[in-house]
Amino acid sequence: MIKNIVFDLDGTILDTESFIIDGINYSLRNMDLPEKGEDEIREKIGLQSDAFYNELLYEYEEDEVKDIKKEIYSHKDRFIKEQGKLYDKMEDVIKSLHEKGYKLSICSHGKIDYIETILEHFHLKKYFSSVKGYEKDKTKEDHLKEIMKDENADRLVFVGDRYIDFEAAKNTGNISIGVTHGFGKEELIKADYVVDNPCEILQIIEKLNEEM
């Protein structure tokens, strides 16, 4: 049976759009730099942390990018707490899975301190047995393999919203569920299953286990 369920964070559990866009442009204004377009930021959400900023701030030198990131990080917690919100029904789904005995993990391209801030602020930390975040030279595939080894799992389900999530699941022999409320949209074609309502996640997992 599948007992391990892994969740992406941004665009899957957490609606990051408003606070990421507003936080970045607030910081750029503070530094008297031109703002970035919403679509330009939105399409890069889900990339590894360094890749996200390097691609978004492509016109700046390395030292300038570091300074901009430092400014953005200095306001991060405030924007998360003021504007961050969970997608509708996601907390209920996570709680239900946990109560039914599933082992839950996070696999995100965000940095660990960012993930921990989110989980603590929204009181979700108690539901997750492991958290995998950005590590240089490690992919989501690497992290899924680590989770499988740590949890002694032959197979797991990875819930995400971007092609990166779906390919990581496929390349590690696992099952992916894509959520339509995230940032992937046209990328959802790469997912094994697609849900419009997060409550369908539990239904799919239980059906998979019935068929095994």
Whose structure tokens read 């390919």?
167
pLDDT tens-digit readout, 93-117:
999 999 999 999 999 998 899 899 9
- Per-residue model confidence (pLDDT) at position 48: 82
H or E segment at 85? strand 85-86
With a cut of 90, say whether residue 30 has pLDDT above it: yes
pLDDT tens-digit readout, 179-189:
999 988 899 99
| pTM score of the predicted model | 0.89
Average pLDDT over all residues of the chain: 94
The average pLDDT across 38-45 equals 90
CA end-to-end distance (rounded Å), the chain: 7
8 A C-beta contact, residue 157 and residue 147 = no
Percentage with pLDDT > 70 across the chain? 100
With a cut of 90, say whether residue 50 has pLDDT above it: no
8 A C-beta contact, residue 97 and residue 202 = yes
With a cut of 90, say whether residue 81 has pLDDT above it: no
Q: Write down the H helix ranges in 62-162.
A: 62-83, 90-99, 112-121, 140-151
* Token digits of residue 9: 């964070």
Residue 194: which pLDDT band, with cuts at 50, 70 and 90? very high
Percentage with pLDDT > 90 across the chain? 83
- Per-residue model confidence (pLDDT) at position 77: 85
CB atoms within 10 A of CB 70: 10
The average pLDDT across 28-55 equals 92
Between 25 and 47, residue with greater pLDDT = 25
Of 74-88, 121-135, 177-191, give the lowest mean pLDDT range.
Answer: 74-88
* Token digits of residue 194: 């697609």
> CB-side exposure of 177: number of CA atoms within 13 Å?
23
- Per-residue model confidence (pLDDT) at position 46: 79
Distance CA 58, CA 52 (A): 10
CATH number, domain 4-15+85-211: 3.40.50.1000
* Token digits of residue 121: 């602020």
- Per-residue model confidence (pLDDT) at position 101: 97
| Every domain of the chain and the residues it spans | 4-15+85-211, 17-83
Distance CA 134, CA 111 (A): 5
